[in-house]
Amino acid sequence: MRLTRLAAAVLVLFGMGAGSAVHAEQFQPFDDYEVHYNAFNSSFLPPEVAQAYNIQRSKYGALLNVAVLQVGDNGKKPVRANVVGTLKNLMGQVQDLEFKEIEEGEAVYYIADFRFTNDEILSFDLKVVPAPTSSAYEISFRQHFYAD
C-alpha cells in the first residue's frame, strides 16, 4: 500500500537523528491541539516511496511535514486541518508552500516540498486551522539545510 510506505518513511524520519540535516520532530501545543512538524531533505526518502508519491528526490530538495492531533481525555486523535505557509531565505525571498493532504487509516498529515541551496537557513511561517476551530494557530521556526 503506497500510503503505508510514505507514512513509514516519514515516521522513521520523525524519530531518527540522521545528522544535522534532519531535525527530530517538533510540536507546539495550542488549546486542545498539538501541531507536529518537521522538515527534512527529500533524498532521505527511499526511492520507491518518492516515486509512489511523485516526490522528486534531490540533494537540493526538502519536505515539510505537518500533523495535527486533538488532545482529549481519551488520548490524542489525528484531525484534518487547513495548513498554509511560507518560507523565506536570508535575502528576504518568500516562497508559498503548497501542502498536500495524506490520509492513512486514522492518520492525517500534510506534506509540502521545496528547494534550497547548500548551507541555507530558511524561516518558516505556518498557519494551521484544525476543524472545527475557527482561529488559526501560528508557528514560526528556522532551519539550516545542507545538500546531501
Q: Pairing between strand 81-89 and 94-97?
A: antiparallel
Domain boundaries, the chain: 2-145
pLDDT of 104 reads: 81
Interval 78-106: pLDDT, tens: 999 999 999 999 999 999 999 999 988 89
The torsion angles phi and psi of 94, rounded to 5 degrees, stand at: -110, 140
Amino acid at 58: S
pLDDT of 98 reads: 97
- Fold category of 2-145 in CATH: Immunoglobulin-like (2.60.40)
Asked whether the beta carbons of 25 and 13 are under 8 A apart, the reply is: no
Q: How far apart are CA 71 and CA 109, in angstroms?
A: 16
Amino acid at 66: V
pLDDT of 43 reads: 94
- Judged against a pLDDT cut of 50, whether residue 16 lies above it is answered with no
The three-class DSSP label of residue 38 is strand
